[in-house]
Each structure stands twice: as structure tokens, then as C-alpha cells.
Chains A and B, each alone.
Chain A
Amino acid sequence: MDALTRRILFLALVALSLPALAQDRAAEVQIKAAFLYKFGEFVQWPPATFARADAPFVIGVMGADDVAAALEQVVAERTVQGRPVVVRRLRRGEALTGLHMLFIGREDSARLAETLAAAKGQPLLTVTESDNAIAHGSVINFVAEDQKVRFDIALPPAERGQLKISSRLLAVARRVISI
């Protein structure tokens, strides 16, 4: 879609006062972006994952440009763990080096498994929004419940990556999977 078409579409949407569905997705995206930022404050990474004292906190976003855009807004003037935040948009198959957190947009099982396998054992907090993502090794998976954005946390992949998840984050999770 070219820029002009997008602009016309956007104006049309505004004029029609955005259909409810589009609005709900917009809200969902905003909430998820806020959560991604928050997760950074409630998880501890092994110190070695930061090259320098002032090294940035790097969040990769794969297959969810809307979330990436919202997240860029959120972190523009904020820090995570006292560090500036860099949002990196990734394409499927791109290397995951240098990331502290990776958000993978809605994906089918096979592709999700592939990406998560690459992240396995890394000190990398993987966050997903797909059914069965936990089974494929994701640490945090967003789920919709009662019109709310909730999430499940799996501890084993976090432990393999030497990530420590604060009890407060666990308390907010819908489910915590420990085996």
C-alpha cells in the first residue's frame, strides 16, 4: 500500500469514526506495547548481556509493525533498567543477537517454533501472542480474556535463559507454568 492510499484510508477511517473492531485492535496494540515496556522492569537479565554500563536495552519486534510503532512511542522518553531503549524491527529468520526481548506477532505454529528454537537457551525474553506458543518455548504469551489483555508465563524457558522474573510479574500473570 503506498503512502497516499494509506493516508486516504486513514482519513476515511477517521471520518467514519473508526469501526469498533479496528479500535479494539488499536487498544490491544497500545496495551501490549505498554506491557512490553513494563516487562523490562520486572525481569532481571544476567549482567553479561549488557556490553557496557550504558549499553541500550534492545527489544526486537517481529511480524507486528503496529506493536513496534506503539512501542517506539512508549519508549521514546523512557528507560528500561535505567538504560535507553532501542526497538528493532526484525524480519523472519533474521539473527537474534544483541536482543534482550523479542516480541513475535501472531504466527502459525511451524514458523513460531522455528523462531523460538533460535532463541532457546539465550538470555532473551520471548513474548508472543499466538495459541500454543508456550508449548513451543515462549516465555510470555499474551491471551485475550474478558476483553482484557492477559498473559501466561512459562518458567522453564526463562530459567534456561538465566532470566529472573519478579514475583510481582508472576502475580499478575493469568497462569504460571512451572514444568
Chain B
Amino acid sequence: MRKRIALALLWMPIAAGAQVLAAGSLADMSLEDLANLSVTSVSRRAEPLSQAPAALYVITGEDIRRSGVTSLPEALRLAPNLEVARIDSRQYAISARGFNNAIGNKLLVLIDGRTVYTPLFSGVFWDAQDTLLDDVERIEVISGPGATLWGANAVNGVINVITRSAHETRGTLAEAGAGNKERGISARHGFDLNGGAMRIYAKAFERDNTVRANGAAVPDEWHNAQTGFRGDWGSAARGFTLQGDLYRGSIQQAVGDDTSISGGNLLGRITRELAGGSRVQAQVYYDTTQRDIPGSFSERLNTFDAEAQHSFQATPNQLITWGGGHRRAYDRVTNSAQLAFLPDATTLRWTNVFAQDEVALGSRWRLTLGSKLESNVYTGTEFLPSARLAWKLDEHRLVWTAVSRAVRAPSRIDRDLFAPAQPPFLIAGGPDFRSEVAKVYELGYRAQPAARLSYSVTGFYSQYDHLRSVERAGTAFVLANRMEGRGKGIEAWGTLQVTPAWRLNAGALLLDQDLRFEPGSADTNVAAAGNDPKHQFSLRSSHNLAPKHHLDLMARYVGALPSPAVPAYAALDARYAWQVHRDLELSVTAQNLFDHSHPEFGAAPNRSEIERGVFVRAKWMR
């Protein structure tokens, strides 16, 4: 068990069986994972990850499919420890533990081990991240720092999207859906190939424009197409994975030609189990992405990444995991006269080594010590240590605590942003911008008081230093680090299996953030750091009305955002699915049933309202 948990804290291999509630979900696990599943861990079923000393929530593939969502950001609403606010047809503000922002920068997002953040602003362009949701095995969401294993940027959270092995996706799937706000088609075919398995997929969708509160259209209609493949050979003990994607999309603009986005990636990974149960994993990938906003900006980013890690049982009580990696990104932007990244072309490099030691102290205590050293071109080497202690009260209760240091290393927007493109500048970069630093203290409790009930409560206190501020330098403004503050809060969630056919999930977030500028700072705009609700609640019901009829409901309440002010809102989503025939499922999904439309982010009156949506879908699979 200990080993599985340690791995859980690394990129990929969590005990997939983790949040198993019934044989039904066990059947979705791979053969290999089933064979590694500990009987006692399944007994404490609702929290298979009940040993992980972190605020970890797993969105299962089944959760995603049953929610009826059509995009990754919408799927992330299922995680009670995330803030997800939709901005318009394609943009989202997503974060954990505050600092939510359209260009949020404290969350690290990976898809099958590939980092998808942009070094332009250390955030994620959500409109360029997609995959076939039917093939997602699970999404691991960790709120809180993960820098020791994942590196700079994993300040307030890590999102890890993991797709199913090609072994698990043999067969053909075809899907078509249409609704009042979007339409989409997708197909996947999986087959045996050279002793392994391969799948190929393609999907395309269009989303309608959003509207303002006064009913005026916001020109943000979006078309997107994506294709990709994944091949897996060998077993968990000796395996090879090759996968890749290609995508292209266009988004309407108010003036001029459509914004176009395109890109692709290719990733290879090998895993080997060596004698004595030690395990080696190595991975390389290439990612290219382009964005062209006619008339204002374009970017072309090429990234190469290689990393490896090795874990082994050093003594019966010590599991050591260590590794390193190197990433290199070539970024070229085309600037406009008003706004420029200077220099327009640059090479960014990150190199890291890390080690973590997990020590069992008797049968009840477990201490995990680790650190990562990561260098970047702007600030040199950053030190990212953490210590975690878990205390197993008994088979059903775990208390854990952690102390971590994480940094958000500078991105191009912090150092290289100038306006206008020629002197005299109004904004003159951030020549002295350094890393933002978080020191985070966490205390968590997880319990399964009965076979059908489990819950997790985490409290955190984060001390932030050197947050981004805007300062005066002569006649110009520069970016500097003179904001500081703290955030504290509680994250809680639980699952109740009311009957074998009916499950309830509930979640709550409470956040209290206090940010200020250091004496002498010229900045006064604290709101630039983020815009967060003080509380957020969700309740989800998954009900098998009859063997072939499923009803899923999700209600959520999001508190008011202070600045710019966004009113509190409650939303109800519902999905009803009917397995008409063994190969055919029909479903209807309705989103935002409580109101005709509501805003989730941004300043009135120009922000988009998120309207009620109804989506009908047919899925054929054999």
C-alpha cells in the first residue's frame, strides 16, 4: 500500500482503484491494476487514496461521462476543491485556494504527463486543451502545493488528466450531440497492434457565441477540431506508451479575422519494474502550439521535455523516489504597436532534480520528506522542499499535516511585457521581477465511519510573499513583487452511497484571503491578484433509476466575487441517460436550470452571461 501511495503522489500511477465504490467501477480498471489492488484498501473503498497526505480529489471517468459535460474545464467543476468560472464561449478562470483569474498562474495542469501551461503567463489557454472525454480514466486534482514533485508553478494546486490505456479502449465509439449552445461529433476506434493496442480518435465541435446581460451578442463563436492517437505495449512492469494529438480551432473576433489556434504534441514513455520492486519511468515529449489573433498578437511555442524518475525500497521502512528533467521552450511572438513581448523570440530552459523519502515510523506514522531544485532562465535555482506527516488512527481514520514551500517562477508576462512596442514605454517589463513565494501549512483529516460514507476535511494557511505588483519607474510602470498576504480556508467533501444504486457527493470551500501591498508600493489594485468567492458549495446525486436509466443532478452555489463584482449564483445541471440498446445510449443534459443566464466572471456590462443549455446526445459503442 505504501508504495502505491508514494506513486500516487508522482505524476501518473495512482491506484486507479482508488475511489472504488462497487464492482461496477472496479470493472473499469485495467487487469494490472486489479491484480495490484489490496483487498483491505478496497474495503475502505470510498477513499482508496485514504493514505495520501494531501488534499487530493479524484474525478473518475465515470463521473465525467455521467455529468454529460463536453469540455475539460466543465469536467473540472466536479472537483469540490477547485474554483471554476466560465468567462465566455471558450475562456475559463480556474484555480484552487484563491487567486482566480483569467490569466491565473498558480495552478499546474498536466495531460498524460505533459505540462500544458504556457510560459507566456504561467497559466493555461483552456481553449487549446482537449481530449476525447470518453477516454479519460480519471482527473486527479490536488489543492495545495505540489512543487516538490511537480516543480515551480504547482503553488496552489495540480490537475492531472489521465487517459485510459489503449488496452482499455478497444472497439468503436461514435457520438453526436446537438444543443441550443453547441454541437459536436466524435469517434474513436481501438484495435490490437503489434502485440499491444492502439486507438485513434477525432472530434469536432462548434460553440455559439455568448451574450451580454442586455442581450447583445458577444462575438466569440468557436469552432474546433482535434484528432489523436494512443498506443500502449507491454505491461505495467515493462511498458511503452506513444501518444499524440493535433488540433485546430477558430474563434470569432469583434473586429477583423477570426483568431486561430492550432498545435500538436507527441509523447513517448517507458516504464520498467526492476528487481526488488524498484520502478523506473522515463518520458519525452514535443509540443507545438500557435495562436494568431489578427491585428494584435501571435505566438508560436515549441517545447521539448525529457524526464525520468526511479523509485525503490531503500530499507523495509523507506521508499525513495528521485529523478530529474529538462525542458526547453522556444517562444516567438509577433507584437502589435500597442503591446509587445520583448525580445520577441526567446528560449526558456528549466532543469530539475528531486528526491523524496517516505519513511514508515512504526505501523501508524508515515513521514515524507522531499525537495526539488529547479532552475529557470530568470531567477536561477529555486528550492522547493516539503514535509508531510500522516498518522493512521485506525483503518478508517487518517490525520495528516504538511509544510511546503512553493514558488511561482517568472513568466514572460512578468519580465518581457512592454507597452507600447517602442519607447517611450508606459509599461516597461519587469526587469527585477523575482519568483512569488508561498509557504503553506496544511492539516487534514479523512475518515470512513461506515462502509457507505467517507469524507475529507482539509484546513490550510498560506503565507504569500513577493506577489506581483505594478510599480512606478520614472515615467513608466514596471512589474515588481511588492504584494504580500495570506490565505486560509477549509476544503471539505464527502460521499454517501445511499443505496447500491444511489450515490451523493457533497463539497464545500471556505476561503479567507487577505492581501496587501508592502509599504512604499505605488500599487493599490489588490483585485489584480484574483477574484474569489468566500464560499462555494456543491451537491451531486448519481442515481440508477433502473438498470438502463441513469439520472444525475449537480447543484452548486458560488458566493459573490468582490472585484469586479459578480453576484452569487446557484446553478443546477441535470442529465438523464437511457441505454436503449446494448450499443446505443441516448442522453439529454441541461445546464443552468435555475436561471435563464448568469455571469460567472468579469466586469459588467461587457462580460458574457452563461446561458441555460440543453444538449441531446447519442452514443454508439461496440
Residues of A bordering B, CB below 8 Å: 14, 17-18, 20, 23-24, 26-31, 33-35, 37-38, 41-42, 70-71, 73-74, 76-79, 82-84, 144, 146-151, 167-169, 171-172
A17 in complex: contacting residue of B22, B27, B450, B583, CB < 8 Å: B450
Q: How many A-B residue pairs have CB under 8 A?
A: 103
Give the distance to chain A from B450, nearest Cβ to Cβ, in Å.
Answer: 5
Chain B 432-452 interface residues, beta-carbon cutoff 8 Å to A: 449-452
Tell me whether A27 and B27 are in contact (CB under 8 A).
no
Question: Which chain B residues border A84 with CB–CB below 8 Å?
Answer: 582
The 29 listed contacts between A and B (C-beta, < 8 Å) are: A17-B449, A17-B451, A24-B40, A24-B43, A27-B42, A28-B39, A30-B20, A30-B22, A30-B26, A31-B37, A31-B39, A34-B26, A34-B27, A35-B31, A35-B34, A74-B23, A77-B547, A82-B171, A82-B622, A84-B582, A146-B38, A147-B38, A149-B35, A149-B37, A167-B195, A171-B237, A172-B31, A172-B32, A172-B35
Contact A34/B43 with A17-B449, A79-B582, A148-B36 known, Cβ cut-off 8 Å: no
Question: Which chain B residues border A78 with CB–CB below 8 Å?
Answer: 27
Main secondary structure of the interface of A (DSSP, over half): helix
Give the distance to chain B from A69, nearest Cβ to Cβ, in Å.
Answer: 9
Within 8 Å of chain A (Cβ to Cβ): is B29? yes
Extra inter-chain contacts (7) besides given A31-B23, A84-B582, A151-B35, CB under 8 Å? A26-B43, A31-B42, A34-B34, A35-B31, A71-B23, A74-B23, A146-B38
CA–CA, A150 to B20, complex, Å? 18
CA–CA, A168 to B34, complex, Å? 13
Residues of B bordering A, CB below 8 Å: 20, 22-24, 26-27, 29, 31-32, 34-40, 42-43, 45, 167, 170-171, 195, 235, 237, 395-396, 449-452, 500, 547-548, 579, 582-583, 622
Give the distance to chain B from A151, nearest Cβ to Cβ, in Å.
Answer: 8
A73 in complex: contacting residue of B29, B449, B500, CB < 8 Å: B500
CA–CA, A147 to B37, complex, Å? 8
Tell me whether B40 and A147 are in contact (CB under 8 A).
yes
Question: Which chain B residues border A29 with CB–CB below 8 Å?
Answer: 23
CA–CA, A40 to B548, complex, Å? 22
CA–CA, A35 to B31, complex, Å? 7
Question: Which chain B residues border A31 with CB–CB below 8 Å?
Answer: 23, 26, 34, 37, 39, 42
Give the distance to chain B from A169, nearest Cβ to Cβ, in Å.
Answer: 7
A77 in complex: contacting residue of B23, B40, B548, CB < 8 Å: B548
Tell me whether A70 and B582 are in contact (CB under 8 A).
no
Question: Which chain A residues border B579 with CB–CB below 8 Å?
Answer: 77
CA–CA, A31 to B547, complex, Å? 21
Tell me whether B31 and A42 are in contact (CB under 8 A).
yes
Question: Which chain A residues border B547 with CB–CB below 8 Å?
Answer: 76-77
Question: Which chain A residues border B34 with CB–CB below 8 Å?
Answer: 31, 34-35, 38, 149
Tell me whether B450 and A24 are in contact (CB under 8 A).
no
Q: From B38, which residue of chain A is reached at the shortest CB distance? A: A147
Question: Which chain A residues border B23 with CB–CB below 8 Å?
Answer: 29-31, 33-34, 70-71, 73-74
Closest 10 CB pairs of A and B: A34-B26, A27-B42, A30-B23, A23-B43, A171-B235, A33-B23, A70-B23, A34-B27, A74-B27, A27-B43
